[in-house]
Structure 1
Amino acid sequence: MSLKRHEFYQEYEVFSKRTHTATMQYQFSLLAPNEELALVLAQENFMRREPVVDIWIVKRSNIRKMSPDERASLSRLQNKDYRNTKGYGYLKKKWRHYEQEMLDEKEILSWGGKIKT
């Protein structure tokens, strides 16, 4: 039974970290028949070029990407006006209008009603 190339090899994404305090960074993709060989190929590629303290390989099929509907929902999360004080500028005008409608002592006394004790 002969296997086709695309059935034998799997795609892996490679990430590496240069120092213990650095963040993981994406490097490249590679084809390998399994995870162990993918790690060996990634190590061979990096160890010749630069020092690294960690390498991660992730099978591409294990990476979940967002659906078009999920990406569309991100736009609603982009509205951060509530975090800016300029978004509350209307409150000053609203407060002024409220203060003008408030009853003051003179207005209440002008009604001429007597308070019973």
Structure 2
Amino acid sequence: MTKGFYQEFEVFSKKNDVAPMQYQFSLLAPNHDMALIMAQENFMRRELVADIWVVKREDVRKMNQDERETLKRLDNKDYRTTKGYGYLKKKWRHYEQEMLDEKEILSWGGEVKKS
């Protein structure tokens, strides 16, 4: 956006004092004060909030491509994510079926079924 009268602002809010801050929307305003007033007007018509933040878009720093590369895993650590354990239920079921056959279960009662 070219420099002009209006600037882009990002609006964040939280519903109560213990809730996390959440992104809501962008708006155009001439300055921080007007951006806050516009954000308040928007929320007072819709819902209650405990706090509102307005931040100039140009003041929000995001990661560049080189920095984003550092977020990628260098090794396979799928076991750290929940999807990494998805195979265990199937593996455990297979293990139980091998270990607990009819003779094994009946032997627990003291009787062994004769074939």
Query: Fold match, TM over 0.5?
Result: yes
Partner letter of residue 55 of structure 1?
I
Give the structure 2 partner of residue 33 of structure 1. 30
In 1, distance between residues paired with 2:58 and 2:37?
20
In 2, distance between residues paired with 1:7 and 1:68?
29
Identity between Structure 1 and Structure 2 (%): 67
Cα deviation 1:72-111 (Å, max 9, x = unaligned): 111136754797xxxxxxxxxxxxxxxxxxxxxxxxxxxx
- Classify the secondary structure of the residue corresponding to 1:11: strand
Distance 1:82 1:18, change over 3 A: closer
Q: How many residues align?
A: 80
- Gaps of at least 5 residues in structure 2 are 81-115
- Gaps of at least 5 residues in structure 1 are 84-117
Distance 1:78 1:33, change over 3 A: farther
Alignment of 1:3-42 (within 5 A): 6-42=3-39
TM-score of the superposed pair, with normalisation by structure 1: 0.61
In 2, distance between residues paired with 1:66 and 1:30?
22
Structure showing greater radius of gyration is 1
